[in-house]
């Protein structure tokens, strides 16, 4: 079906159900905000936009796709020629989706959505606003899924596996004990875990239900006397069943979470309405009380223990080795006339796969030549990609998941013939990148406080990169992890800004993006560590745990201070010291030149 036909069929179903406006978010029934199984990609099916963020709203005479600045160019291309209008989030004159839904639901009208993929918090807010119009919600029908019909992908059926304690540093029993201690402090009788990463971390298991993210579609619940795991039982191996038995974890079928909630009465239930879908929320009887706070697991898994951080550093040694070999290959073969965005990404996939304990990419590699680099989440395919030529930039944003850690790195590679303007922008991005990585800050600081360090050199030129500067990274989990991040402005969507804690990992990835011209991004992972403690309090700092050279061929030292040049040289000495012993003689010579001392011209 063409997009217009899909929208037309959706409108027909809306009319049959008496629905005036219909909302299709990007989430799954666990409210994953970005990566989901193909089964849940209704937003992409109905609109044709394949980006990993956004939502669709359809009325009888309008269809709009909301997405953020990372995807504007991609959305322009994919929506071209369709009946779907691009609504650029956070741009002047563009209402946010919630306001649009409330404002465009008519008096006495009906707003519809699939209640499984919308949070209880969002549903309650919309319901409150609709009361003023005597309008109501219709949350029982997945209309986009009905349009999709028999061609809709099946729910994934991948096996679950145990992540050994030598990687996690703590047993599942000990983690459950820690959780029960926090629950007791809150007087909670039950903790409901809905985020896909939470049961995986708590029970020391991983899955493969979502491409590039080692999680399984499952819920969990912890009480004073029980620990429960809700999953399709066919996904469990004997090893996993033995692991669960050893740690007192009871397995139940995936759908039983709703019936178990319905049977609870007079309890204090800890469940975050922002991460509990509205269908499960309505299953909770009214005689229970709710602790409407974020899951304690979110923060606990964000703060890595000593075993995890040691393993993560080891993962970055492997990843840095693969990246150095990749950079050498790109530099030496860009002029061959045979390199494309696809052959480049495939070569990098192979280099990572050759490293010990490699599992999978941590996200689909972004291999973007020149103008494609301006699309922050561009994906080259066999059907649509660019040839790589010996001039300009190749932007490669990639990462790997290993049994010992998850990596995320971006390098923008000079292929030759750079203009003075391109060198200037590369250097300004690098300038912001190293300013953030060398920050010292008092305990209590959030990523919102630090964002200006990375963004400042570009803001001085009245330029912004329309996305966050950094995100948390999970340990053999999602490459995008909360609750912490680095971004400017007030916390959005009702979330509070998370304080940076020792043991957290966050990315440092400023960039510049000029649509139809080129894009530049430089990204490392940073580990939050304790620094000095004195009269003023506990200071923290970052440890750079990504080991891969910047491209000195793209640097214009006129834009750097002597201190910044010194920082780059210090970083490169560290990269050479850690990665050179892992390379052969030819590769070491290349790395030696790539990490040569930077001097002012």
pLDDT digits (tens, 9 = 90+) for 24-42: 999 999 999 888 999 999 9
Residue 239 has pLDDT above 90, yes or no: yes
Task: Give the largest Cα separation in the chain, rounded.
Answer: 75
**3-151 and 303-594 in the same fold:** no
pLDDT digits (tens, 9 = 90+) for 452-493: 999 999 999 999 998 899 999 999 999 999 999 999 886 665
Strands 524-534 and 505-508: antiparallel
Fold of 161-294: Creatine Amidinohydrolase; Chain A, domain 1 (3.40.350)
Cβ distance 522 to 390 under 8 Å?
no
pLDDT digits (tens, 9 = 90+) for 186-210: 999 999 999 999 999 999 999 999 9
pLDDT digits (tens, 9 = 90+) for 573-584: 999 999 999 999
Alpha helices in 152-285 (DSSP H): 165-168, 172-186, 197-203, 238-246, 256-262, 278-283
Q: Is 421 in a helix, a strand, or coil?
A: helix
**Answer CATH for 3-151 from 3.30.70.920, 3.40.50.620, 3.40.50.300, 3.40.350.10:** 3.40.350.10
Contacts of 395 by beta carbon, 8 Å cutoff, 6+ apart = 366, 367, 368, 369, 372, 373, 410, 411, 412, 413, 519, 520, 521
Q: What is the CATH number of domain 303-594?
A: 3.90.230.10
Q: How far apart are CA 453 and CA 339, in angstroms?
A: 36
Contacts of 12 by beta carbon, 8 Å cutoff, 6+ apart = none
Residue 512 has pLDDT above 60, yes or no: yes
Cα end-to-end span (Å), the chain: 59
pLDDT of residue 33: 82
Count Cβ neighbours within 10 Å for each residue of 388-424 and write b for 16 or more, e otherwise.
bbeebbbbbbbbbbbbbbbbbbbbbbbbeebeeebbb
Contacts 24+ apart (CB under 8 A), 587-592: 587/324, 587/325, 587/328, 590/324, 590/328, 591/324, 591/328, 591/549
pTM of the model: 0.93
pLDDT of residue 601: 80
Q: How far apart are CA 432 and CA 424, in angstroms?
A: 13
């Amino acid at each position: 079906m063409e997009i217009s036909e899909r929208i037309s069929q959706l409108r027909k179903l809306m009319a049959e159900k008496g629905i005036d406006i219909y909302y299709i978010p990007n989430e799954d029934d666990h409210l994953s905000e970005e990566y989901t199984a193909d089964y849940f990609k209704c937003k992409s099916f109905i609109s044709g936009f394949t980006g990993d963020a956004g939502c669709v709203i359809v009325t009888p005479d309008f269809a709009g796709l909301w997405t953020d600045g990372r995807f504007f160019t991609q959305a322009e291309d994919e929506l071209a020629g369709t009946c779907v209008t691009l609504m650029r989030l956070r741009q002047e004159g563009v209402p946010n989706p919630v306001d649009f839904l409330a404002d465009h639901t008519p008096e006495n009208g009906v707003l519809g959505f699939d209640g499984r993929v919308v949070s209880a918090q969002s549903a309650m807010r919309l319901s409150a606003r609709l009361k003023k119009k005597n309008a109501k919600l219709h949350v029982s029908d997945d209309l986009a899924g009905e349009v999709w019909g028999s061609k809709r992908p099946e729910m994934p059926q991948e096996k679950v596996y145990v992540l050994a304690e030598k990687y996690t540093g703590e047993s599942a029993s000990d983690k459950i004990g820690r959780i029960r201690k926090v629950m007791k402090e809150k007087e909670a009788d039950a903790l409901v875990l809905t985020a896909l990463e939470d049961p995986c971390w708590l029970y020391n298991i991983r899955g493969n239900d979502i491409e590039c993210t080692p999680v399984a579609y499952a819920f969990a619940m912890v009480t004073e006397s029980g620990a429960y795991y809700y999953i399709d039982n066919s996904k469990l191996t004997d090893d996993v069943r033995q692991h669960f038995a050893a740690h007192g974890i009871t397995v139940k079928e995936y759908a039983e979470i709703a019936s178990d909630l319905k049977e609870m009465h007079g309890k204090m239930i800890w469940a975050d309405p922002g991460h509990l879908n509205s269908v499960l929320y309505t299953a909770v009887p009214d005689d229970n009380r709710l602790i409407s706070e974020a899951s304690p697991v979110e923060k606990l898994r964000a703060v890595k223990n000593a075993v995890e951080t040691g393993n993560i550093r080891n993962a970055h040694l492997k990843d840095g080795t693969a990246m150095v070999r990749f950079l050498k290959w790109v530099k030496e073969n860009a002029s061959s006339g045979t390199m494309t965005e696809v052959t480049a990404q495939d070569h990098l996939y192979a280099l990572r796969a050759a490293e010990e304990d490699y599992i999978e990419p941590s996200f689909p590699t972004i291999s973007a030549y020149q103008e494609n680099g301006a699309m922050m989440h561009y994906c080259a395919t066999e059907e649509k990609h660019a040839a790589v030529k010996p001039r300009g930039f190749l932007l490669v944003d990639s990462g790997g998941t290993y049994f010992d850690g998850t990596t995320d790195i971006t390098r923008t590679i000079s292929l030759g013939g750079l203009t003075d303007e391109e060198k200037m922008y590369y250097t300004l991005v690098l300038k912001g990148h190293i300013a953030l990585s060398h920050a010292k800050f008092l305990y209590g600081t959030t990523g919102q406080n630090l964002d200006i360090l990375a963004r400042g050199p570009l803001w001085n030129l009245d330029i912004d990169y329309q996305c966050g500067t950094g995100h948390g990274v999970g340990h053999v989990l999602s490459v995008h992890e909360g609750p912490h991040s680095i971004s400017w402005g007030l916390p959005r969507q009702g979330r509070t800004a998370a304080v940076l804690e020792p043991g957290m990992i966050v990315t440092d990835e400023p960039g510049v993006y000029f649509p139809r011209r080129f894009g530049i991004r430089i990204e490392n992972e940073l580990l939050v560590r304790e620094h000095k403690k004195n009269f003023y309090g506990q200071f923290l700092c970052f440890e750079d745990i990504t080991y891969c050279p910047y491209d000195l061929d793209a640097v214009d030292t006129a834009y750097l201070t002597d201190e910044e040049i010194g920082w780059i040289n210090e970083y490169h000495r560290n990269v050479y010291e850690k990665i050179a012993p892992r390379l052969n003689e030819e590769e070491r010579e290349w790395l030696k030149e790539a990490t040569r001392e930077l001097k002012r011209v």
